[in-house]
A and B are shown apart, each in its own frame.
Chain A
Amino acid sequence: MIIKKLVVGSLFSMLLVSEMAAADWGDVYYCQMTNFNRISIEGETLKEHKLEKFKFKLDPTKNAMVFGNTGHFQDKVFEITTPFAWISQSTILYASSVDSSTYFENGKFLFASVYQPLTVTLGIELDVFGITSVSADCDKF
């Protein structure tokens, strides 16, 4: 009886873990930054930035993480470099753009970039170099 309970308990735990772990195309993740650090090209740590909320979708047609329309990652599209077939079997994702790299595992998000486009008034974008690092906790609902 005890063994039966243990087996059932283990199976239930495995089911729960796999349910939590599975990611799939179309999933939308809601994230809260836990760190947002910027270093200028002169090596200065820039003032502390507000920890933002953001969201992204695992978009199968673009094979990418597609971000929402607000905040630091506004409208960004990061191509997923993890093998396509892994997406529904694994929570580990790598995504990249020309100047950035993103890692996602079990709801933990990391982002690093050596390029910081700075949008000034009138919508003009300037090339400003420096390092941006972001960590965040993400959930899907």
Chain B
Amino acid sequence: MIIKKLVVGSLFSMLLVSEMAAADWGDVYYCHMTNNNGITLEGEMTKYKLEKFIFKLDQTKNAMVFGSSGHFANSVDELTTGRSFPIQEKWYANDKHSMTYFSKGRFLFTSMSLFDIESISADCEKF
């Protein structure tokens, strides 16, 4: 009886953990920035306002599709093939001048322009 309880308990715990870690297409994440700064060509750093933003993991576009407001308004960041595993809640979305990394609710983004580098980190949750 004790063994049966232990087995059931373990299975239940595993189910809970996998439920927390798993992501799936269609999931919507609500994020708040924990860092938002820029470094210019001259080496000067500026700290910007920390915003909230949302994105959806869109299967048809194989991308992170961002909400209509804020810094990432209407951006579509395609997931990098071969390095993205939504089921493990871990993916990259890189293009020529920007890089995004997401893992288990932690979001990192950096972009390069003709004038500066922008670096953003954020914590994300799905509801």
Contacts and interface: CB of A to CB of B under 8 A. Distances in A.
B122 interface: yes
Interface stretch (A7-15, A55-63, A71-79, A111-119): A111-119
B39 A110 contact: yes
Contacts of B39: 35, 37, 110, 133, 135
Interface string B84-127: 00000000101011111101001011111110110101110000
A94 interface: yes
B45 to A, nearest CB: 6
A43 B35 contact: yes
> Size range of the interface on A?
35 or more
Contacts of B100: 114
Interface in B31-49: 33-35, 37, 39-45
A112 B117 contact: yes
Q: Is the interface of A mostly helix, strand, loop or mixed?
A: strand
A112 B41 contact: no
Interface string A104-127: 010010111111000000000000
Contacts of A133: 37, 39, 110, 117, 119
Nearest to B34: A43
Contacts of B112: 94, 101-103, 110, 112
Contact of A115 (B37, B101, B106): B101
Given A39-B35, A39-B119, A45-B35, A112 B108 contact: no
A34 B99 contact: no
A108 B116 CA distance: 10
Contacts of B33: 43
Nearest to B121: A43
A135 B119 contact: no
Given A34-B42, A112-B111, A112-B112, A42 B34 contact: yes
Given A39-B35, A100-B99, A112 B110 contact: yes
13 contacts: A39-B108, A39-B119, A40-B121, A43-B106, A94-B112, A98-B83, A103-B113, A114-B92, A114-B100, A131-B119, A131-B121, A133-B110, A135-B41
